[in-house]
Amino acid sequence: MLLVPTIGFSQDLEAILEQESSETSPLTFGTFNGTRLLNGHSVETRREGVLEFLISHRFGRLNSGFDQLFGLDESNIRFGFEYALHDKLTIALGRSSLEKTFDSYLKHRLAQQKTGKNPFPFSVTLFGSAAEKTIKDYLPENKPTFSERLTYTGQVLIARKFSPNLSFQLAPTYVHFNTVSTENDSHDMFILGIGTRIKISKRVSINGEYYYNVNPFESFDTKNSLAFGIDIETGGHIFQLIFTNAVSMIEKGFITETTGGFFKGDIHFGFNISRAFQVKKPK
């Protein structure tokens, strides 16, 4: 587990994460810049009372040509609000333009990497989400129920900070679809995600992320999600520039429904921007 990859993304890295770290503290902070790797989550959670506003964009395919301005004529967007009830527990709500999807999640930091007399070699965070697709892509007589529109995702995020400049993450993932396209498609999917972050300066890092789907859909040709990006921390914001074959920005989408081939040019440029606000003083 300790020899596999990950990445990050967030608000003011210094103010929210690294300010907690000191030479006298046995806990390891700032494994990643923030709560996101690229498409997926990192082990990081916010400090108690922090509200984070996240805007994510994914444009069309770069290989769509000049007529589509290399994908910039198309745009999918997600807005999300994430609130830390305390340092180890975050709740969130988001809305994506793709398939008009609403999503929510809970994220709990179970264990934190530390040194000292009782060291622990890695950090562990549990993630659980539910997503509802609300696009009206059905005939009136075939309207799906609320339950039929739901998809669930569960992850165990395991990460280690090997040095101030190098972090890795492993993300065993389970996705359940209440409804699938054909009886040959599995309702339950098992995926292994890996990622890494390499800092090249105090405020810039290079990131990578890959999800391997063990049992993908059989009714249509899907690809494993792959992403590369750059994190730029600017004090109050984190800008994350992303190149990925996935257009969706929520787990059930980019992990299990990606259809583009990254090395065939089906690359979507995108970005994440986050802004964190301390709306309540921590206890």
Where do the structural domains in the chain lie, given as residue ranges? Answer: 13-278
- Check if the beta carbon of residue 226 is closer than 8 Å to that of residue 213: no
Of 208, 223, 220, whose CA–CA distance to 266 is shortest?
223
User: Residue 270 corresponds to which amino acid?
Assistant: G
Predicted TM-score (pTM) of the model is: 0.86
Q: How far apart are CA 142 and CA 106, in angstroms?
A: 32
Q: How far apart are CA 260 and CA 257, in angstroms?
A: 9
**Distance between start and end Cα atoms, the chain:** 34
What's the pLDDT tens digit per position in 204-256? 999 999 999 999 998 889 999 999 999 998 766 788 999 999 999 999 999 99
Fold for the domain defined by 13-278: Porin (2.40.160)
What's the pLDDT tens digit per position in 108-133? 999 999 988 888 999 999 999 999 99
- Tokens (6 digits) for 100: 């008009």
